């Protein structure tokens, strides 16, 4: 018995390593850099506004509609994610297309908003207040273009049945990125409304 006890060793279970999918980690790093970029621009906006020679103007009404569109598109994207977890790929495809169409609609409305600004004699070059609005909304728009392309990649994966409850990484990343851009736009829109 004593020999048996001496031969027994305490075996510790290996500690679980916290890990994240490398592409998800890269996405989170990218989103953090985007947050820093827009934080610097909104900070610069406030500093420059305080210096004077600032043109105050109303944001185009179409920006209100584009805000509603991007919020609705977040709902359709989340719904697509839930359907992917249930392996309802027909609904996933439909909802991803709806989200992409809403995203394109958002971009069209942004361009219409810029047209309204030009009609109101607010140009990219001129008063810094207009320049900030064009840069902030334009760079956000470029990120939305990248997200729409990501949606098309996800749609292709859904058509080929590569997205399902056992393989959700791509769907999770696209959903995260889409929600991020929606939240970012709501923040920017409110910021511009308060500080116009």
- Tell me the per-residue pLDDT of 140-179, one tens digit each, with 9 for 90 and over: 999 999 999 999 999 999 999 999 889 999 999 999 999 9
Q: Choose among 188, 193, 49, 59: nearest CA to 128.
A: 49
- Tell me the per-residue pLDDT of 9-39, one tens digit each, with 9 for 90 and over: 555 665 665 567 789 999 999 999 999 999 9
- Tell me the per-residue pLDDT of 46-105, one tens digit each, with 9 for 90 and over: 999 999 889 999 999 999 999 999 999 999 999 999 999 999 999 999 999 999 999 999
Domains of the chain: 60-196 (1.20.120.80)
The answer to whether the CB of 66 falls within 8 A of the CB of 106 is yes
Give the Cα separation of 101 and 104 in Å (integer): 5
Give the Cα separation of 114 and 122 in Å (integer): 9
Tokens representing 129? 């207040």
- Say what the pLDDT of residue 152 is: 97
The pTM of the full predicted model, rounded to 2 decimals, is 0.88
Give the Cα separation of 187 and 38 in Å (integer): 10
Would you give the DSSP letter of residue 61? T
- Say what the pLDDT of residue 89 is: 93
């Amino acid at each position: 018995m004593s020999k048996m006890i001496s031969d027994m060793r305490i075996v510790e279970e290996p500690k679980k390593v916290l890990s994240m999918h490398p592409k998800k980690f890269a996405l989170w790093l990218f989103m953090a850099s985007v947050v820093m970029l827009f934080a610097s621009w909104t900070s610069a906006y406030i500093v420059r506004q305080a210096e004077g020679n600032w043109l105050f103007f109303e944001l185009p009404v179409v920006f209100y509609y584009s805000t509603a569109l991007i919020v609705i598109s977040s709902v359709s994207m989340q719904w697509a994610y839930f359907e992917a977890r249930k392996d309802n790929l027909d609904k996933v495809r439909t909802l991803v297309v709806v989200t992409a169409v809403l995203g394109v609609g958002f971009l069209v409305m942004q361009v219409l908003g810029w047209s309204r600004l030009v009609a109101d004699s607010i140009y990219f070059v001129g008063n810094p207040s207009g320049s900030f609005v064009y840069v902030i909304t334009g760079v956000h728009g470029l990120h939305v273009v990248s997200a729409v392309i990501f949606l098309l990649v996800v749609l292709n994966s859904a058509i080929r049945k590569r997205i399902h409850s056992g393989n959700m990484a791509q769907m999770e990343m696209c959903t995260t990125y889409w929600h991020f851009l929606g939240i970012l736009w709501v923040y920017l829109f409110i910021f511009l409304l308060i500080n116009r």
